[in-house]
Amino acid sequence: MELPLVFDRYRAEIDAELRSALAKHQSPMYDMVRYHLGWIDEKGYPRQNSVGKALRPTLCLLACEATGGDWHKALPAAAAIELVHNFSLVQDDIQDNDPERHHRPTVWSIWGKPQAINAGTAMHVLASLTLLHLRERGISVEKQRRAQYLLNESCLRMMEGQYLDISYESRLDIGVSDYLDMIDKKTAALIGCSLETGALLGNDDESIIRAFRNLGRDMGIAFQIRDDILGIWGGKKETGKLLAGDIQRRKKSLPIVYALEKAEGEMRGELVKVYQDQVVDPEGVATVLRILEAVEAQLYAQGVAEEYRDRALAEIERIVHLPWARDSLEELAHFVVKRKF
């Protein structure tokens, strides 16, 4: 599945803004950041392409332009959001002991967890410094402060969600409502911030700014549910992750939460037993996959993702009046629930 064309609209400028944020920083610590972003290999040799989709900065710039603003002025905010997102990925890789991301060794697996924490923290701080460049783009002090607040608030909510995600690994009393609350924080907070910040920098209508935040929340929830599906059934070639990796890590993703609610008797007992084990072996993975198939967990999860996609589409139809921008946002809404990577 190809990326929607709107990703190409801003990508070169997003990468340039990110490179500018790191240009003055040449110590080896920042080489870990450059490696994670895909600019160099582990020996420091340049690579041709960045990694990742740059979904969040793309949404930020698209929201700015869709609401009548000059998207070039929002570039520091878009770059800051991408740095915060990548900070969270480095932390996530450490917490999950993931050895690979985007078909490459993770930062911690090369330089160790203590240095990876330093690299991730550096990206978080660089995000705040990058956001200060909004002043040079003619953005008012009031909007600068508000953009900083939105980014910090969403980062805090993201950490709250990550805390819940990890704590759920050792619990079996998690319901769908608990799960939705967790991903509203873990994933939807920063995607909502991306669209809200872009709308803030593009116009002054508070109702429109709030609507873009809500749109981001719905898209973020749909995005994470699709991620849950890929975390179990996605192919390593497309995702760069282990097949059924979320089962091996005992993640309480939506398919698992749904199965815990729907499975009965012996089948539920088998599922609980696997998730109570400290290590999920291949036999345990096969057991979980069999139970998920029996309760049609993948079909259910995809249906929930599409419900949130449809809510996002309704919001887009209501608030976005530029035809090309509406088409682009609709394409992105469909992409997040159909993607294979």
Q: Domains of the chain: which residue ranges?
A: 6-338
Q: Which of 94, 125, 126, 87 is nearest to 111 (CA)?
A: 94
Q: What average pLDDT does range 86-102 have in this prediction?
A: 94
Kindly give the interhelix angle for 28-37 and 6-22, rounded to the nearest 10 degrees.
180
Q: To which CATH superfamily is domain 6-338 assigned?
A: Farnesyl Diphosphate Synthase (1.10.600.10)
Helix residue ranges per DSSP H, 97-140: 107-111, 113-131
Confidence of residue 275 (pLDDT cuts 50, 70, 90): very high
Task: Tell me how far CA of residue 29 lies from CA of 32, 113, 118, 240, in angstroms.
Answer: 6, 13, 8, 25
Instruction: Identify the sign of the CA torsion 194, 198, 200, 204.
Output: negative
Global pTM reads 0.94
Q: Which of 186, 208, 164, 172 is nearest to 68 (CA)?
A: 208
Q: What average pLDDT does range 302-308 have in this prediction?
A: 98
Q: Is 40 helix (H, G, I), strand (E, B) or coil?
A: strand
User: Any idea which of 110-119, 206-215, 274-283 has the lowest mean pLDDT?
Assistant: 274-283
pLDDT value, residue 170: 87
How does the average pLDDT of the chain come out, rounded? 95
CA–CA dist 304, 310 (Å, integer)? 10
pLDDT over 70 for what percent of the chain?
Answer: 98
